[in-house]
């Protein structure tokens, strides 16, 4: 009988020279120097870009006291606890202030957003009055100063509106427009080049020979990068040949701030990426105690950052979200974004061996009581890209965790909000 002893492989639970996820994150952060160059963009184009320097308000917002209701602007001193009657002497619309003087005992009709007359400090909702021609009878409990939006209550002149490194959101576009500002100074875009490696890879439109597969990694990378405002350089598929890899890496590193490759980074006989990185630049690390994504080559080629991602399609996405995305965000000058984690009840059994940090694919759902729970997507093979498509979160399982029984609290990282 022959005995079969498996060789060490990526499936091993533990390897002593692997870095932990936390250590790897720190090593990457240590090498980042955020971009300093900036450019001026029209306001709409600044969406999702990173603000260069703080934005200071040049005006008060709103610029004048105005009514928060449709109703009647009055002197606050006229307010009585019982019924009281005032004489209406005019009307103010938004954009059309009342021109005239309002004496005590008088009032004007006023619409939401209309400028408050200088003499008045209080607005009575129209639902709280009885109108008899120009005689306005007011009942109910009212307070001086009510229903008025004060000048500068949103922002005051000279106030910091947004801080350095802020990523511009849709609400920011409105806020900045409310200041009358039409252009913003934002950090320059990062240039990110990527290519797939593998003799087995064909592009869409080509016919597959036996043993060949379609390249999907360039499409997921394109998708993930497109959610960031970076310039994308897709360099196609590079075969498993040292010279071809050497040339592609040289070319990519000359043109980009960050170079990403997929595949060829493990210990197979045609895996040359790490060797080429050693030749052209510096390898910082290449083995991680995580699953999926154990082989991940990180280093530099001159001043360009290099991430040699694994070839398996799920590993590409996991390592991108966990390492490349935060690195790109910091490199782009973004103030460190918060990653939202949630603790939820997991209804599935999850198999896991202690030794590696695992990012399993999960589905957050609402149970019959409306509580959020999570279940696994099932098979977790790193080649099963469908597990990412059906998932809406990662289930984060620490290195020392050795499996989850149903109805255990777990930490999840929802996909929404990752970018």
Q: Which is nearer to ligand AMP, 67 or 380 (CB)?
A: 380
Stretch that binds ligand AMP, among 75-83, 138-146, 168-176, 209-217 (CB under 6 A): 209-217
Q: Which of 261, 266, 304, 413 binds ligand AMP (CB under 6 A)?
A: 266
Radius of gyration of the chain (CA): 31
Q: Work out how close the CB of 381 gets to Mg ion at its nearest, in angstroms, rounded to a whole number.
A: 16
Q: Which stretch binds ligand AMP (CB under 6 A): 38-46, 180-188, 247-255, 305-313?
A: 305-313
- The CA-based angle 334-235-202, given to 5 degrees, is 125
Q: How many CB atoms lie within 10 A of CB 408?
A: 14
Among 263, 292, 293, 308, binds Mg ion (CB under 5 A): 263
Q: Measured between alpha carbons, how far is 271 from 198 in angstroms, rounded to an integer?
A: 9
Give which of ligand AMP, Mg ion, none residue 284 binds (C-beta under 5 to 8 Å, depending on kind): none
- Is 202 within 8 Å of 81 (Cβ atoms)? no
Dist. CA 272–CA 199, nearest whole Å? 12
Residue 263 or 414 having the CB closest to ligand AMP: 263
Residues in contact with Mg ion, counted by CB under 5 A, come to a total of: 4
User: Rule CB under 6 A: is residue 262 a binding residue for ligand AMP?
Assistant: yes
Binding span for ligand AMP by CB under 6 A among 15-23, 125-133, 172-180, 196-204 = 196-204
d(CA 264, CA 239): 10
- What is the four-CA torsion angle of 249, 254, 255, 259, rounded to 10 degrees? 40
Distance of CA 228 to the CA centre of its chain: 8
Are 109 and 124 spatial neighbours (Cβ–Cβ below 8 Å)? Answer: no
Backbone angles phi, psi at 262, to 5 degrees: -125, 140
Query: 206 or 398, CB closer to ligand AMP?
Result: 206
**Rounded-to-integer distance, Cα 198 and Cα 261, Å:** 11
Member of 100, 105, 268, 381 binding ligand AMP (CB under 6 A): 268
Q: Which of 71, 117, 165, 264 binds Mg ion (CB under 5 A)?
A: 264
Q: 117 or 310, CB closer to Mg ion?
A: 310
Which positions lie near ligand AMP, rule CB under 6 A?
A: 196, 198, 200-201, 213, 215-217, 262-266, 268, 310-313, 383
Using CB under 5 A as the criterion, which residues of the chain lie in contact with Mg ion when the complex forms?
A: 198, 263-264, 311
């Amino acid at each position: 009988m022959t005995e079969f002893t498996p060789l060490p492989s990526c499936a091993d639970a533990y390897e002593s020279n692997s870095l932990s996820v936390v250590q790897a994150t720190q090593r990457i952060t240590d090498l980042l120097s955020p971009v300093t160059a900036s450019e001026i963009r029209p306001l709409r184009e600044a969406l999702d870009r990173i603000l260069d320097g703080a934005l200071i308000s040049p005006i008060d917002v709103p610029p004048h006291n105005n009514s928060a209701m449709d109703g009647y602007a009055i002197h606050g001193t006229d307010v009585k606890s019982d019924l009281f009657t005032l004489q209406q002497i005019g009307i103010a619309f938004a954009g059309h202030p009342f021109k005239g003087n309002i004496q005590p005992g008088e009032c004007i009709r006023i619409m939401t957003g209309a400028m408050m007359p200088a003499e008045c400090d209080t607005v009575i909702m129209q639902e709280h009055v009885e109108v008899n021609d120009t005689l306005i009878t007011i009942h109910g409990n009212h307070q001086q100063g009510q229903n008025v939006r004060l000048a500068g209550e949103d922002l005051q002149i000279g106030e910091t509106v947004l801080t350095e490194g802020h990523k511009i959101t849709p609400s920011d576009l409105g806020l900045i427009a409310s200041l009358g500002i039409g252009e913003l100074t934002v950090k320059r875009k990062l240039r990110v080049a990527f290519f797939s490696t593998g003799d087995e890879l064909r592009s869409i439109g080509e016919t597959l020979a036996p043993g060949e597969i379609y390249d999907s990694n360039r499409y997921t990378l394109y998708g993930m990068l497109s959610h960031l405002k970076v310039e994308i350089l897709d360099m196609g598929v590079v075969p498993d040949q040292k010279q071809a890899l050497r040339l592609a890496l040289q070319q990519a590193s000359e043109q980009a701030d960050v170079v990403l490759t997929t595949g060829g980074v493990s210990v197979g006989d045609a895996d040359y990426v790490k060797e080429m990185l050693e030749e052209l630049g510096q390898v910082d690390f290449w083995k991680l105690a995580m699953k999926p994504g154990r082989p991940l080559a990180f280093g530099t080629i001159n001043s360009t950052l290099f991430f040699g991602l694994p070839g398996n399609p799920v590993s590409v996405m996991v390592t991108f979200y966990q390492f490349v995305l935060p690195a790109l965000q910091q490199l782009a000058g973004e103030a460190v974004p918060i990653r939202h984690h949630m603790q939820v009840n997991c209804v599935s059994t999850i198999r896991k061996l202690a030794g590696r940090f695992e990012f399993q694919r999960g589905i957050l759902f609402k149970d019959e009581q409306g509580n959020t729970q999570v279940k696994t997507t099932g098979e977790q093979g790193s080649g099963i890209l469908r597990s990412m498509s059906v998932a809406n979160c990662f289930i984060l399982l620490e290195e020392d965790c050795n499996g989850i029984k149903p109805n255990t609290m777990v930490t999840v990282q929802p996909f929404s909000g990752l970018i």
